[in-house]
Structure formats: C-alpha cells, structure tokens
Amino acid sequence: MSESAGTTNMGNIAILISGTGSNMQAFIDACESGELAARISIVISNNPDAAGLQRAANAGIKTKCINHRDYDSREVFDAALCSALQEHDIDLVILAGFMRILTPVFIEPYLGQLLNIHPSLLPKYPGLHTHQRALDAGDKEGGVTVHFVTPELDSGPAIIQARVPIQAGDTAESLAARVLVEEHKIYPLAAQWFLQRRLQLTNSGATLDGEAVPETGVPYQ
C-alpha cells in the first residue's frame, strides 16, 4: 500500500465470523461499490454451521472453517488462525461477530491491524447483552463502537462511535435492529481510514490524521 496519508491502494482484508455475517456483508457491499478500496482475501469461521461462510462463498470469496472444538486450548486455536492468515498478505483483520475471546497468541502478531465492533457506547457495557443493559439502566441512547483489539476484552482504543436514541417501548431487539444499521455504516468507514494510513494504533491510543482520537471515538455524523 502507499505510504501517503489519504491515498488508498487495494488492501487485503481477512474477516473472522461465527454466524450469519451481517457486518461481513457490509464489507462485501462496500468493496463492490468502491466505497472501500480493498479485497476480502479470506473469510474464516470457527463455526462450521455459520451461514456467513456460504454468503461469502456466494460472493466469490475464499472461505475456511477452523473449528475451535478441534483444539485443546484457546492458544492452540489462535495459533491455527495465525497460520491460516499467514498464507495471505493481510493488511487488516476484521472481527465481524466472531464469538471467541482471542489470546495474545493471535492478538500480538496483528496488534494495530485488528479491529472489532461492539454494540454499545464503550466504555459502557463491555461483554454481552449490551442493549438490554442500556435499557435496564434507563439510558437515553444506545449505540455502537469500532475499536482496535488489544488483549483486554472490549477495552482497545475506540475509533468511531455511532449513537442511536432509545425510544419509548424499545426492546433489546428493536434497539439492536436500529443499531445494526449504524454498524454497517461505520465499520467499513473505519477500515477505509486504516487502509488510507489515516488511522493508527500508537502507544498512547488511536490517532486519526495524526490527532488523538477521543476516548469514546470519533462521533459519526
């Protein structure tokens, strides 16, 4: 890729999924439309029944299943993931509904090249059941955060955040559906920034165009 900020050559992306691949599809669409100057080199799932594997194959993308149940530990599984990615010249790894806690065996080789999306306004509500937790707390907003992955779960520096007003009568499911629309917008955008060399992970956090990103990420307009 070019070293010049603001320019983009075709970057190679790997996407890790466990389920239907909803966010993966947003990347497929962004690449096909030219919104994201990248190629999806491989989609890997830990779940042989993941519907997203067929979705990726239908789009002509190479797929691979590495079933975590076949490995004795998280570390051995993560080493297998690394081995699979090393067969490709990967610039960026995207976690798209990948329901495995990664260990340093995988995170450290890809530190600074590994993004995740979390359905809350981090640092609020790391972990699971984020929408219900926001409703139970009486929050006025829910949302979603794209962040760099570090060894601490859901604690890597935020990159971009989209907020969604909570409406009267909302359920976790109705809120999740509206948040998902925003997920599909901001995740490819964060990847675009990275491939343009505008976005970096530094020792002091995330930077965009050389400026420190706020703790809660760049607000999505």
Q: Which amino acid is at 40?
A: I
Q: E strand or H helix at 155, and its extent? A: none
Contact by Cβ (8 Å): 23, 119: no
Cis amide prior to 214 (ω within 30 degrees) = no
DSSP letter for 111, please: T
The residue type at 148: F
Helix (H/G/I), strand (E/B), else coil: 7: coil
What lies within 8 Å, CB to CB, of 70 at 6+ separation is none
Q: What residues does 28 pair with on adjacent strands? A: none
Catalogue the active-site residues: 118
Q: Give the whole-angstrom CA distance, residue 73 versus residue 93.
A: 22
